[in-house]
Amino acid sequence: MAPTLAFDIETVPDLEGLRRLHDFDDNVSDHDVAEFAFQRRRASSGSDFLQLHLQRVVAIACALREGDTFRVWSLGTPADGEAEIIRRFFDGIEKYTPQLVSWNGSGFDLPVLHYRSMALGLSAARYWDMGDDDRDFRFNNYINRYHTRHLDLMDLLALYQPRAYVGLDDLARLCGFPGKLGMDGSMVGEAFRAGRIEEIRNYCETDVVNTYLVFLRFQLLRGVLDASGYSRECEVVRSTLAGSREPHWHAFLDAWKPL
């Protein structure tokens, strides 16, 4: 059985890219570059959330269920640059060929990783295989929206109807899982500017465990897991987190109130 890899990314505006695109010199501050981009974006869309190709990846968290083990981690170190973090993500796919699980991965995380990989000159042959190298990938690959090698839970549960989308936080908490703790995506930029990268990585890790737990509930819904199997899988997650000394996992477990 293929390993299951849930993933989540966190991003901030790509100031270096904005400087390159708009020919800003070094005399223009980062603040002014960002404000220029936000104002242009608000004028065109009503929101200051920048286009996906202008999102710089600052954290990727993974939750891997393989064999008898479950583990959660952030890729790379806090000092690693964007290219190294993304390279490690695709190296993991090359190594494990996992079942990918995300929440809005088709609408945000993976397109961001596509654009950023292009800009950074990275390679991800296994991920992009659509049957040229492995015949099985012709009928089930990571790219096709309706294939399940990448399972975007938000997209599938909404039956691919954007008006039916819901946020991970709401659904996770409705299922009795912790949901978001102490931070949300709108706060990542400020935290990054303040140098709080560990806090961002911890937040990303809790988001990815929420995603994995929602995936387990989905496996119960579709009959892949029965009630006892679902309980066992949740206990694997709980016992793994309980063995950690990291404070964010103690807060997560305290907020996990099974219904």
% of the chain at pLDDT higher than 90: 93
Task: Return the structure tokens found at 187.
Answer: 């706060």
14: pLDDT strictly greater than 80: yes
Reading phi first (left if > 0) and then psi (alpha if -120 to 50, else beta), residue 46 is in: left
Total structural domains within the chain:
1
49: pLDDT strictly greater than 80: yes
259: pLDDT strictly greater than 80: no
Element (H, E) at 151: strand 150-152
Task: State residue 143's pLDDT score.
Answer: 95
Reported for 138-147, long-range contacts at CB under 8 A and 24+ positions apart, including other chains, are 142/93, 142/100, 145/106
1: pLDDT strictly greater than 80: no
Are the CB atoms for 201 and 188 separated by under 8 Å? no
Print burial letters for 40-49: b (CB count within 10 Å at least 16), e (below 16): ebeeeeeeee
In residues, how long is the chain?
259
What CATH number does the domain containing 192 carry?
A: 3.30.420.10
pLDDT digits (tens, 9 = 90+) for 154-193: 999 999 999 999 999 999 999 999 999 888 888 899 999 9
The residue segments making up the domain with residue 171 are: 4-255
151: pLDDT strictly greater than 90: yes
pLDDT digits (tens, 9 = 90+) for 100-129: 999 999 999 999 999 999 999 999 999 999
pLDDT digits (tens, 9 = 90+) for 232-253: 999 999 999 999 999 999 999 9
Are the CB atoms for 212 and 218 separated by under 8 Å? no
Q: Write down the residue that tokens 């973090």 correspond to.
A: 85
Alpha carbon 2 to chain centroid distance? 19
- Alpha-carbon distance of 120 to 90, in angstroms, equals 13
pLDDT band of 22, cuts 50, 70, 90: very high
Task: State residue 2's pLDDT score.
Answer: 87
User: Helices (H), strands (E): how many in the chain?
Assistant: 12, 5
Task: State residue 193's pLDDT score.
Answer: 93
Task: State residue 257's pLDDT score.
Answer: 86
Considering the chain, what is the average pLDDT of its residues? 95
SS3 of residue 23 by DSSP: coil
DSSP 185: G
CB contact set of 138 (below 8 Å; sequence gap of 6+): 130, 131
Task: State residue 86's pLDDT score.
Answer: 98
Task: Return the structure tokens found at 216.
Answer: 């387990």
